[in-house]
Amino acid sequence: MEEKKWRNEFFDNYFKIEADNEKEWIDCKNQHLTKIFQYTRVKHAKTLILDDLMYLREIKDLNDPFEGDLLYDLDEFYNNPIRNPNLDKKGIKSLFYEANQDMKNRVYIACFSEKNDITPMWHHYGGEHKGICVEYDFKDDDLLKEIFFPIAYVTEERNKEILPKIIAKADIGKSSIETFTNKSLEWEYEQEWRIIMLKNPKQLFKIIWYDNKPHIKFLTPKSVYLGYKIDDKDAYYIKKLCEIRAIPVYRMIKDNSSFNLTYIPYE
């Protein structure tokens, strides 16, 4: 199943109010989660490479201004006969805003990509090509797969389908996940996966506070890739960290036959 198609089919089917084949779609998701990459800056190298810690972010810290927003048609809700008659349009907007903010404040996020050679990702997240990209292998970790979800890149109309389900008191846990697994089509190049985890002490994953920021214990990196503009000093530092754990290191270079990045072993 081609990349865009399976992501959107997962989004459309798994999040149905009455999805009688949930396991089938979870299995589909997990089968596609074999390896994953995180673009980041050199300052995060030690926690990723030596400590196996993954930094969790809050929705407000992500760079999409519409991240986690639930779109809606105000007139449609105002004219709905089942709405609270005491609410005017301003009241409806306030109610939806507060509910949406409450959902955003309940979760931690960590973002990844399916590929290590996406030029805009290196620029935006990999320190303008001066950072690193860390590869992880998911073959033997079914527990982590439970909190990993692919992002579907959808139209505004598809996003607007989520809020009515929440109002209809559908599965709130699943609706919360759905809220954070859809983004505008303009972000499709990221080929993103993400951790979506409730800020709940009863979760399977213990929050580890490091440098006053929340982390969870994660996988040992399979490989590390250096940005093609990385400083020699930083490249040497990453190489030494990886040698401690026998992790292969590669360097991104420009492919002279195309506009693509490729990589070679870093010696």
Q: What is the pLDDT of residues 115-163, one digit of tens each?
A: 999 999 999 999 999 999 999 998 767 889 989 999 999 999 999 988 8
Provide the domain count of the chain: 1
Which tokens is 179 given?
């809220």
Residue with tokens 């995180």: 38
List the one residue out of 218, 184, 191, 69 whose CA is nearest residue 125: 191
Q: How far apart are CA 14 and CA 262, in angstroms?
A: 35
List the one residue out of 105, 108, 109 whose CA is nearest residue 97: 105
Residue 24: strand pairing partners: none
- Domain containing 218: what range? 3-265
Q: What is the pTM of this model?
A: 0.90
> How many Cβ atoms sit within 10 Å of the Cβ of residue 171?
17
Question: Residue 62's Cα: distance from chain center in Å?
Answer: 10
List the one residue out of 199, 163, 159 whose CA is nearest residue 182: 159
Q: What is the pLDDT of residues 35-93, one digit of tens each?
A: 999 999 999 999 999 999 999 999 989 888 899 998 988 888 888 766 777 888 898 88
pLDDT surpassing 50 at residue 1: no
